[in-house]
Structure formats: structure tokens, C-alpha cells
């Protein structure tokens, strides 16, 4: 897995005095960090796909491990077009010929051996080791544009190395020891060694002479992979020192599912919801006001001016708990005065005349005051308020 470089890690090309060239190189360079595990083989995958346009005869991929070239594969423009604008290749290590047979030497991560002997005794050795660590711990792929040159090919294959040397020139026996302070200062932990020869029968090596299309400092792209141990990556703040463990999945019993369903949080509050709730409240208030007005109308008394009326009390089935409403019915009535027992006819007639006159006078006053007074033949009279 590749990790992004820290924010403060900026590529600087001190060999170039031209600021424009340095700026261009930074714009086409990518830096990643890779965890190195001792004794583990690794390979480099190359891939070019549409819509990338190859504008030269070849694209050259120069692969350097610890500062030494191990392979330089070429992508031919004709082959790229023939395969539908797609090309890929995996580089597992350098190839060489041994007694007419092509062999492959795998690339392997190896931990650097350390020592803590006196710096004064190893001063000369430390200076030499410091120079060898300048390019150590880094895999670089430089992409350039090239055109073909028709000349006899050289006899030495690119990437050929002597038997038991690492890509950086160190031996594979692991006897070289680096001072601990030097490694701590340079933040180094591993180097790359080459494994034993592995015969490869299915590959054919072919050399093609090419020339650069652009100036050497104006390469097309550059990919840098700096490999370190996990401890070094943590010290460089590339990865967390104590990554938080992922939470374990919670086992939910079948009977707990309904409870969890009820505890599901409500959807987030939004302005649209507020507007809907406000409109709902206004609608409820309007309905309540209409109900109040309806009950008030049921309590009111509406009299027919063209006929004498009598009031009766009925119950409202829609408002059983409310006071009885008053309904007017058109019933023919005549005010009558009951006779008292033991009074003669003369007295009765005189009393009846006085009562009739009094009733007419009182009825006129009540009509002026818009009151209704009703007499009844029943001993239990109804009084309307």
C-alpha cells in the first residue's frame, strides 16, 4: 500500500539553477511512501491507457532502485494503438543472460544492519556510508519520450548486474553495518537486494536504440516511492502511531429489533418541515375557531317575526356536554290567565280584563326591548334566559 507524502515534503531539484525547470519538475513528480517488510519480494506495475496520447515513437520507463537502473522497458506507439490504446507491464527485477539462458533476479526488501561503535573509529566509514545512503530506500520511475535510432545494438543488456550485488551496489550477504545515528538522521531502515537467478524461458529480450525527444531535465513524469519500515513511517508521521481499532459489529437479537426500530432517530429538522408545521397549526386553529362559531350560532335564538313562537329545549347530539340549545317552533299560542278558585264570575271577568290589558302593555314594552315572555297552561313554566 502506498501512502501520501507529508505536507512539508517538497521535491527540490538542487542540481538545476533554472527556477522554471525546477517548477516544471515539481509539477510532474509524484512522491509516495511504501512500507518495507524484510525478506518480502516486490514488483513495479506500469500501465498506460486511453486517453493518454503517445506523441513519439516510444515511451521509455527508466526504473531506478537505490539509485541504480534495474530495467528500462519501452512502450511502442504502434503497439499501443494496435492494442486499443492500452499497455501494461510488471517489472519484478532485472534480466540477464547466463550461458545463453535468460534469468530473472527478484527484488527483495532487506533490513539495514546497524552498529553503535565509536564514531571516531568509524569516521571514514561513516562518510562513505552516508554517500551510499543518499539514494537508498527509494524506487524511482522516470518517463521520457524517445524516437528510434537505426544503429547496431550494444552487447550489454540494460539492468544487467553482477551476481550477488544489490541494486545499490551492496552485497546480499548482509554484512555491511550502518551506524545507528546515521540511520536515525537519514530516516533509513531498508535497502533492496537481488535474489537468486530464476530461469525464464517464455521471455525474449530485445534491445532498441533510441534518443531523447526532449531535454533530459524535461522528463514527461517522475514517480518516487520511498520505502521505510512501519516504525520509520510512524516517526515521519506518514501513518498514525496508534491507529484506532475498527469497531466490532454489534450482534442484534431478533427480539431487540423492534425496540431498535422504535429508537430510530427522527429525520433532521429542515426549514421545509417548519413551514409545514406552521401551516398545520394555522389550519387547526382555523378549525377550532369555526367550531366555536358553530356552537355560538346554536346557542343563539332566531325568532320568526311573522308568527308567535314558543321556545322548547332540545339536546344537541354533537355537543352532549354543552348547555342545552334553544330552538324556536311555530306553535299557535294564546296568553291565558288561570282562574283562581273561589272567585265569582264578576270578579273573574274584571280580573281577566285587567290581566289582558296588562299583558298587552307589557308585551309592547318587551317588543321594544326585544324580549320574549311566554305564558303556559302548565303549572311548570319555562323561563328562557
pLDDT of residue 324: 43
pLDDT of residue 215: 92
The residue-averaged pLDDT of 307-320 equals: 44
pTM for the full predicted model: 0.54
Cα 230–Cα 38–Cα 135 angle in degrees, nearest 5: 75
Q: What is the dihedral of CA 77, 81, 86, 90, to 10 degrees?
A: -40
Q: Using omega within 30 degrees of 0 as the cis cutoff, is the peptide bond preceding 372 cis?
A: no
- The Cα 385–Cα 377 span in angstroms is 20
Residue 204 vs residue 276, higher pLDDT: 276
Give the pLDDT band of residue 351 (cuts 50, 70, 90).
low
The residue-averaged pLDDT of 60-80 equals: 93
pLDDT of residue 73: 93
pLDDT of residue 5: 66
Q: β-strands 138-148, 221-228: how paired? A: antiparallel
pLDDT of residue 119: 55
Give the pLDDT band of residue 1 (cuts 50, 70, 90).
low
Residue 157 vs residue 244, higher pLDDT: 244
pLDDT of residue 326: 42
From residue 177, alpha-carbon distances to 123, 130, 151, 180, 232 in Å are 13, 12, 45, 9, 18
173-177, 189-193, 209-213: which range is least confident on average? 173-177
Could you tell me the sign of the dihedral formed by the alpha carbons of 320, 325, 328, 334, in that order? positive
204 SS3 class: coil
Q: Using omega within 30 degrees of 0 as the cis cutoff, is the peptide bond preceding 68 cis?
A: no
Phi, psi of 260 (to 5 degrees): -65, -35
Residue 296 vs residue 145, higher pLDDT: 145
Let me know: does 86 contact 43? Beta carbons within 8 Å.
no
Let me know: does 211 contact 61? Beta carbons within 8 Å.
no
Q: Which of 187, 190, 186, 163 is nearest to 176 (CA)?
A: 190
Residue 350 confidence (pLDDT) above 60: no
Residue 313 confidence (pLDDT) above 90: no
pLDDT of residue 203: 73
**Burial tier of 3 (Cβ tally within 10 Å: 0-12, 13-18, 19+):** middle
Give the pLDDT band of residue 299 (cuts 50, 70, 90).
low
- The Cα 159–Cα 97 span in angstroms is 11
Residue 281 vs residue 325, higher pLDDT: 281
Residue 364 confidence (pLDDT) above 60: no
Count the alpha carbons within 13 Å of 329 in the hemisphere toward its beta carbon.
Answer: 8
From residue 67, alpha-carbon distances to 62, 105, 298, 318 in Å are 11, 17, 102, 97
How much of the chain is helix, strand and coil, in % rounded to 5? 25, 25, 45
- The Cα 42–Cα 107 span in angstroms is 6
Residue 219 CB neighbours (<10 A): 19
Helix (H) or strand (E) holding 325: strand 325-329
Give the pLDDT band of residue 241 (cuts 50, 70, 90).
confident
Residue 148 confidence (pLDDT) above 80: yes
Q: Which of 150, 151, 148, 157 is nearest to 78 (CA)?
A: 148
Amino acid at each position: 500500500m502506498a501512502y501520501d507524502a507529508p505536507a512539508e515534503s517538497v521535491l527540490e531539484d538542487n542540481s538545476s539553477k533554472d527556477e522554471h525547470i525546477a517548477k516544471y519538475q515539481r509539477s510532474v513528480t509524484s512522491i509516495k511512501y511504501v512500507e518495507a517488510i524484510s525478506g518480502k519480494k516486490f514488483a513495479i506495475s506500469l500501465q498506460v491507457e486511453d486517453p493518454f496520447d503517445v506523441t513519439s515513437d516510444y515511451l521509455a520507463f527508466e526504473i531506478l532502485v537505490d539509485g541504480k537502473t534495474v530495467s528500462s522497458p519501452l512502450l511502442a506507439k504502434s503497439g499501443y494503438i494496435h492494442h486499443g490504446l492500452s499497455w501494461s507491464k510488471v517489472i519484478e527485477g532485472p534480466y540477464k543472460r547466463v550461458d545463453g539462458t535468460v534469468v530473472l533476479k527478484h527484488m527483495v526488501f532487506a533490513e539495514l544492519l546497524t552498529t553503535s561503535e565509536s564514531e571516531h573509529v568509524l569516521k571514514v566509514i561513516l562518510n562513505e556510508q552516508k554517500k551510499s545512503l543518499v539514494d537508498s530506500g527509494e524506487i524511482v520511475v522516470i518517463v521520457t519520450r524517445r524516437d528510434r535510432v537505426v544503429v547496431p545494438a550494444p552487447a550489454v543488456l540494460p539492468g544487467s548486474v553482477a551476481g550477488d550485488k544489490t541494486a545499490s551496489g551492496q552485497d546480499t550477504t548482509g554484512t555491511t553495518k550502518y551506524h545507528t545515528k546515521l540511520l536515525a538522521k537519514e530516516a533509513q531502515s531498508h535497502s533492496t537486494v537481488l535474489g537468486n537467478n530464476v530461469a525464464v524461458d517464455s521471455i525474449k529480450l530485445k534491445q532498441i536504440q533510441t534518443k531523447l525527444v526532449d531535454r533530459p531535465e524535461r522528463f514527461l513524469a517522475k514517480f518516487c516511492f520511498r520505502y521505510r519500515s512501519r516504525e520509520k513511517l510512524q516517526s515521519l508521521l506518514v501513518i498514525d502511531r496508534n491507529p484506532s481499532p475498527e469497531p466490532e459489529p454489534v450482534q442484534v437479537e431478533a427480539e431487540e429489533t423492534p425496540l431498535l426500530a422504535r429508537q430510530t432517530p427522527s429525520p433532521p429538522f429542515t426549514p421545509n418541515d417548519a413551514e409545514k408545521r406552521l401551516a398545520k397549526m394555522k389550519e387547526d386553529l382555523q378549525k377550532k375557531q369555526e367550531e366555536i362559531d358553530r356552537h355560538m350560532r346554536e346557542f343563539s335564538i332566531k325568532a320568526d317575526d311573522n308568527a308567535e313562537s314558543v321556545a322548547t329545549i332540545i339536546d344537541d347530539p354533537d355537543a352532549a356536554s354543552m348547555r342545552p340549545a334553544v330552538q324556536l317552533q311555530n306553535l299557535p299560542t294564546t296568553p291565558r290567565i288561570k282562574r283562581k278558585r273561589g272567585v265569582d264570575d264578576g270578579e273573574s271577568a274584571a280580573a281577566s280584563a285587567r290581566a289582558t290589558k296588562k299583558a298587552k302593555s307589557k308585551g309592547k314594552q318587551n317588543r321594544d326591548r326585544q324580549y320574549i315572555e311566554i305564558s303556559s297552561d302548565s303549572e311548570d313554566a319555562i323561563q328562557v334566559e
